[in-house]
DNA sequence: AGCACGCCGACT
DNA sequence: GTCGGCGTGCTC
């Protein structure tokens, strides 16, 4: 049949994979004015009065030939759109393209990505925003933004001081010419005038953003956690024009989040600061995406389709042609791969100054308390000297007091009788309790040997603090971990015991840094231990004052060398070489396929023809389920994702098996791409 | 999630 | 020939 008038192509907001494509609707005359690409709509679904929420993706002329690029033409009778929810086009064409691509490359749903990109609507906030837009647009035909960005009289670091550590014009040029860079951060602190110290890296990010804004474009800064965001925010408060910064952060309440999101929709260029979902923020004219510490696991999204913000940034960079910066003290193996491909160019600070890291193989301290606290002799002496001048950082592996107990008799780990979780102590002399379910184990008995006496198997920050208190009598002890977050510190002497990633930032830097528990951090069974440890250590070392010693205990070999020469790239390069040999990510990509044996086999059969694919398994997991791991070359990614997505759709459509009880719980076929913990 | 459609067995 | 049960697949 021939169609006339305009056709709305709509993405239904549903997690069902079989609905993950565009549906065509007609546009009633009374909605035509508001029915523009990007608005939220309500559409009838399956004729019987049910309505679904969706996004209007594009409006096309029905008479014109299909533009292609989407699904096969639909030639039935179109239903009309039921309503336009609001006139705000929340899903910009650029973000739609990004969401579609991110979903496609991981066999996921576009609407799952859009959920990260477009926060839930808040009617009051939206009305206020629309009201603020309208009069401004009438009075002033310029950009409808109440606080226009641009040069201002904000006190800022002199332009010639900007990026001075990186040599003449390298970073300015990168912004102006939209380059892609892996930038090594300057490993030191900067003192803000009338404020706390922040990492030098945070100032570099802020300067990159301001330089982008000065070229009239938007910058997106992606940071793993809120403490990192706070540091960049503090730098931007000094450097960026008032009102030019939007912070988009999942921690803030929904109304605030939506307000910040709407600000990003404005026509004026901005600086957008946020966590991993900030890569999906709408941007008027995108000039830069910058990520801090892309190896941090908080960059990977825990919800389907589990996209890593580095990958999303790479895709968006490719689509928009903006500049891309990965900034860090260490180098992720993924970034190293991109460098070796020539996709990212390396930039190092011109000064080459770095913390003075001293690896100390374990050598028991002469002091008995220092020995009890696992501090090597040299480190103990260093710390004692440094404590005369200011704060000293002790980085440890575990929070709590004694996170793990074991039987004195048979040495087996002590476990909860209810849930088999590990038992630990919350403080000195506390009753042992389960760390998973919290149950108290008042009269614990070992299930293996019926012994009734336990000993401390792993030592937490609390216990370390106690022991260090004895080793350094009279010194103030400060504990910083997940339960006791401390952001900033003064310059007074104190022994600061912190778990990795929770280190407070002292004014002027630590006078010494002790990296303890090296062996424990490396004992974890994961492909990424070395890389992670290097990240934790170098981030802590970068908090040292100029010239302060950083003592790395219990660690030798390539890791110690990478730290003492401050060349994490070398370590990343050798890791990558190993992964190539093993055919492990990120040398190749990988996906897991989980489901009923027959379904997994059917899915794997689809992959047989694709070059560069090999399959591990399937092996049984929980009884009805099996799991296979598919490894494939980056160049086969689209084919693998396409084939698996087709299989997921088929499986979802055919889910309801015969009602005859036995078959009832037919498991869904699950596919997960690029799981960092997979191999 | 609900509804239409089609294949197959049993009946007029 | 045709009615209807139930399994399968689609929803513009």
Instruction: For residue A655, give the CATH number of its domain.
Output: 3.30.70.120
Please tell me whether residues A572 and A604 are part of one structural domain.
Answer: no
SS3 A532: helix
Q: Answer yes or no: do A613 and A566 share one domain.
A: no
Q: Identify whether residues A411 and A455 lie together within a single domain.
A: yes
Cβ of A542 less than 7 A from strand C: no
The verdict on A191 and A171 lying in the same domain is yes
- Please tell me the distance from the alpha carbon of residue A148 to that of residue A141, in angstroms, as a whole number: 13
**pLDDT tens, position by position, A109-119:** 999 999 999 99
Q: Quick check: A74 CB within 7 A of strand C?
A: yes
Across A347-369, b (16+ Cβ under 10 Å) vs e yields bbbeeeebbbbbbbeeeebebeb
Q: Domain tally for chain A?
A: 4
Domain holding A231, by residue range, is 124-347
Tens of pLDDT, residues A528-568 = 999 999 999 999 999 999 999 999 988 888 999 999 999 99
Any strand C atom closer than 7 Å to A47 CB: yes
Q: Are A116 and A280 in contact (CB under 8 A)?
A: yes
- Which strand C bases fall within 7 angstroms of a protein CB? 6-12
Does pLDDT of A241 surpass 90? yes
**What is the mean predicted confidence (pLDDT) over A82-91?**
95
Q: What share of chain A is helix, strand, coil (3-state, %, to 5)?
A: 35, 25, 45
Nucleotide whose C1' lies closest to the alpha carbon of residue A19: C11
Does A44 have pLDDT greater than 50? yes
Residue A112 falls inside a structural domain: no
pLDDT higher than threshold 90 for residue A232: yes
CB of A16 nearer than 7 A to strand C: yes
pLDDT > 80? residue A31: yes
Higher pLDDT, A181 or A66: A181
Nearest residue: Cα versus C1' of C6 = A658
**E strand map for A172-303:** 180-184, 189-191, 197-199, 218-222, 245-248, 271-274, 286-292
Please tell me whether any atom of strand C lies within 7 Å of the Cβ of A657: yes
Residues belonging to the binding site of A for Zn(2+) are: 407, 410, 416, 419, 434, 437, 446, 449
| Residues 6 or more apart in contact with residue A31 via CB below 8 angstroms | A81, A83, A84
Q: Taking a C-beta distance cutoff of 8 angstroms, is the pair A461, A411 a contact?
A: no
Of the two residues A440 and A488, the one the predictor is more confident about is A488
For residue A459, the domain's CATH number is 3.40.50
CATH number of the domain that residue A27 is part of: 3.40.1440.60
Nearest nucleotide (CA of A47 to C1')? C11
Q: Write out pLDDT tens, residues A203-224.
A: 999 999 999 999 999 999 999 9
* pLDDT at position A250 over 90: no
A362 and A394 fall within a common domain = yes
Place of tokens 């603020």: A132
A664 CB inside 7 Å of strand C: no
Q: Is residue A539 part of a domain?
A: yes
Q: Which residue do the tokens 């830069």 mark?
A: A288
Beta bridge partners, A594, equal A627, A670
In a domain, A531, yes or no: yes
Residue A106: partners with Cβ closer than 8 Å, 6 or more residues away? A305, A306, A307, A591, A641, A672, A673, A674
Query: Is residue A117 assigned to a domain?
Result: no
Residue A559 pLDDT: 94
Domain boundary among A580, A614, A633: A580
Average pLDDT, chain A: 87
HSE, side-chain direction, 13 A CA sphere, residue A299: 23
Tens-place pLDDT, residues A133-189:
877 655 444 343 444 444 433 445 666 678 888 987 899 999 999 999 999 999 999
Same domain, A569 and A609: no
CA distances to A596, A644, A655, A660 from A665, rounded to whole Å, are 10, 22, 9, 11
**Residue A3 pLDDT grade (very low, low, confident, very high; cuts 50, 70, 90):** low
A1 pLDDT higher than 80: no
Position A452 scores a pLDDT of 81
**Which residues have CB under 7 A from strand B?**
A 16, 18, 46, 48
User: Is A73 inside any structural domain?
Assistant: yes
Task: Verify if strand C has an atom below 7 Å from the CB of A14.
Answer: no
Encode pLDDT of A499-509 as tens digits. Answer: 898 999 999 99
Question: Which of A298, A325, A347 marks a domain boundary?
Answer: A347
Question: In this predicted structure, what is the pLDDT of residue A155?
Answer: 44
Structure tokens at A639: 């084919």
Co-location of A338 and A361 in the same domain: no
Residue A45 Cβ < 7 Å to strand C: yes
For position A226, what pLDDT does the model report?
A: 92
Whether A382 and A478 share a structural domain: yes
Task: Decide which of A300 and A464 is more confident.
Answer: A300
> Does residue A515 sit in the same domain as residue A567?
yes
Residues of each annotated binding site of A: 407, 410, 416, 419, 434, 437, 446, 449
Q: Are A412 and A532 in contact (CB under 8 A)?
A: no
Give the C-alpha separation, A411 to A643, whole Å. 50
Per-residue confidence band for A655, with pLDDT thresholds at 50, 70 and 90: low
Say if A114 falls within a structural domain: no
Lookup: tokens for A124: 């009051």
- Gap from A25 CA to C4 C1', in Å? 35
Same domain for A206 and A268, yes or no, is yes
In this structure, are residues A244 and A270 in contact, taking their beta carbons and an 8 Å threshold? yes
Q: Are residues A467 and A541 in the same domain?
A: yes
What's the Å distance between residue A43 CA and nucleotide B3 C1'?
A: 18
Q: What percent of chain A has pLDDT over 70?
A: 89
Which of A291, A317, A347 is the C-terminal boundary of a domain?
A347
CB within 8 Å of A251: residues ≥ 6 apart: A226, A275
Global pTM value: 0.90
Kindly give, in sequence order, each residue whose CB lies less than 8 Å from that of residue A327, ignoring residues fewer than 6 positions away.
A183, A185, A201, A204, A205, A290, A291, A292, A293
- The tokens for A96 are 């739609």
Q: What is the CA radius of gyration of chain A?
A: 28
| Calpha distance A156→A207 (Å, rounded) | 10
Q: What is the 3-state secondary structure (H, E, C) of A563-631?
A: HHCCCHHHHHHHHHHHHHHHCCCCCCEEEEEEEEHHHHHHHHHHHCCCCCEEEEEEEECCCCEEEEEEE
| A194 and A261 assigned to the same domain | yes
| CATH number reported for the structural domain that contains residue A249 in this entry | 3.40.50.300
As a rounded value in angstroms, the CA-to-C1' distance for A62 and C12 is 13
Q: Is the pLDDT of residue A658 over 50?
A: no
Find out whether A326 and A335 touch, Cβ atoms under 8 Å: yes
């Amino acid at each position: 049949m021939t169609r006339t008038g305009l056709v709305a192509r709509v993405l239904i907001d549903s997690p069902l994979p079989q609905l993950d494509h565009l549906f065509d609707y007609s546009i009633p005359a009374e909605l035509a004015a508001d029915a523009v690409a990007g608005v939220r709509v309500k559409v009838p679904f399956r004729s019987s009065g049910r309505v679904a929420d969706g996004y209007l993706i594009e409006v096309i002329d029905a008479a014109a030939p299909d533009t292609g690029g989407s699904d096969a033409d639909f030639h039935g009778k179109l239903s009309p759109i039921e309503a336009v929810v609001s006139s705000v086009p929340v899903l910009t064409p650029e973000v739609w393209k990004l969401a579609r691509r991110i979903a496609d490359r991981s066999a996921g749903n576009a609407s799952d990505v859009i959920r990260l990109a477009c926060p839930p609507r808040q009617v009051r906030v939206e009305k206020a925003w629309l009201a603020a837009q309208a009069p401004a647009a009438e009075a002033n035909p310029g950009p409808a933004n109440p606080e226009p960005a641009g040069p201002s009289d904000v006190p800022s670091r002199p332009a010639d001081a900007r990026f001075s550590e990186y040599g003449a014009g390298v970073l300015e040029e990168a912004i102006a010419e939209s380059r892609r860079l892996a930038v090594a951060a300057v490993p030191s602190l900067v003192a803000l005038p009338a404020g706390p110290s922040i990492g030098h890296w945070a100032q570099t990010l802020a300067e990159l953003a301001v330089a982008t804004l000065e070229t009239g474009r938007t910058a997106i800064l992606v940071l793993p956690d809120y403490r990192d965001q706070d540091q960049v925010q503090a730098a931007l408060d000094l450097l960026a024009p008032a009102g030019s910064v939007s912070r988009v952060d999942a921690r803030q309440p929904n109304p605030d989040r939506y307000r910040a999101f709407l600000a990003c929709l404005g026509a004026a260029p901005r600086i957008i600061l946020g966590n991993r979902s900030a890569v999906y923020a709408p941007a008027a004219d995108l000039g830069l995406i910058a990520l801090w510490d892309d190896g941090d696991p908080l960059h990977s999204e825990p919800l389907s389709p589990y996209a890593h913000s580095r990958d999303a940034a790479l895709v968006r960079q490719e689509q928009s042609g903006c500049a891309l910066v990965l900034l860090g003290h260490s180098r992720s193996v993924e970034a190293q791969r991109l460098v070796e491909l020539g996709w990212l160019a390396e930039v190092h600070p011109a000064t080459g100054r770095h913390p003075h890291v001293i690896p100390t193989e374990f050598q028991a301290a002469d002091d008995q308390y220092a020995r009890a606290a696992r501090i090597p002799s040299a480190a103990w002496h260093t710390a004692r000297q440094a404590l005369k001048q200011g704060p000293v950082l002790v980085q440890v592996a575990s929070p709590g007091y004694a996170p793990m107990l074991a039987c004195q008799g048979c040495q087996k780990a002590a476990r909860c009788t209810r849930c088999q979780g590990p038992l630990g102590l919350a403080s000195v002399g506390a009753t042992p309790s389960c760390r998973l379910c919290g149950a108290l184990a008042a009269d614990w008995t070992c299930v293996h040997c019926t012994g009734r006496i336990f000993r401390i198997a792993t030592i937490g920050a609390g216990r370390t603090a106690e022991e260090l208190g004895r080793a350094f009598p009279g010194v103030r002890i400060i504990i910083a971990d997940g339960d006791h977050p401390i952001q900033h510190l003064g310059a007074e002497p104190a022994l600061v015991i912190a778990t990795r990633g929770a280190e407070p930032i002292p004014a002027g830097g630590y006078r010494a840094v002790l990296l303890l528990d090296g062996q424990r951090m490396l004992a974890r069974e994961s492909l990424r231990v070395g890389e992670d440890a290097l990240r934790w250590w170098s981030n802590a070392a970068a908090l040292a004052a100029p010239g302060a010693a950083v003592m790395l205990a219990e660690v030798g070999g390539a890791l110690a060398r990478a730290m003492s020469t401050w060349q994490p790239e070398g370590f990343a390069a050798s890791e990558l070489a190993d992964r190539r040999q093993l055919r492990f990510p990120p040398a190749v990509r990988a996906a897991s396929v989980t489901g009923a044996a027959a379904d997994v086999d059917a899915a794997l059969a689809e992959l047989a023809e694709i070059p560069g694919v090999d399959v591990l398994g399937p092996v049984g997991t929980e009884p009805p389920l099996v799991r296979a791991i598919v490894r494939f070359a980056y160049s086969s990614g689209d084919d693998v994702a396409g084939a698996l997505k087709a299989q997921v759709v088929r499986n979802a459509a055919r889910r309801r098996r015969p009602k005859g009880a036995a078959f009832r719980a037919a498991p869904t076929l699950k596919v997960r791409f690029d799981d960092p913990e997979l191999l």
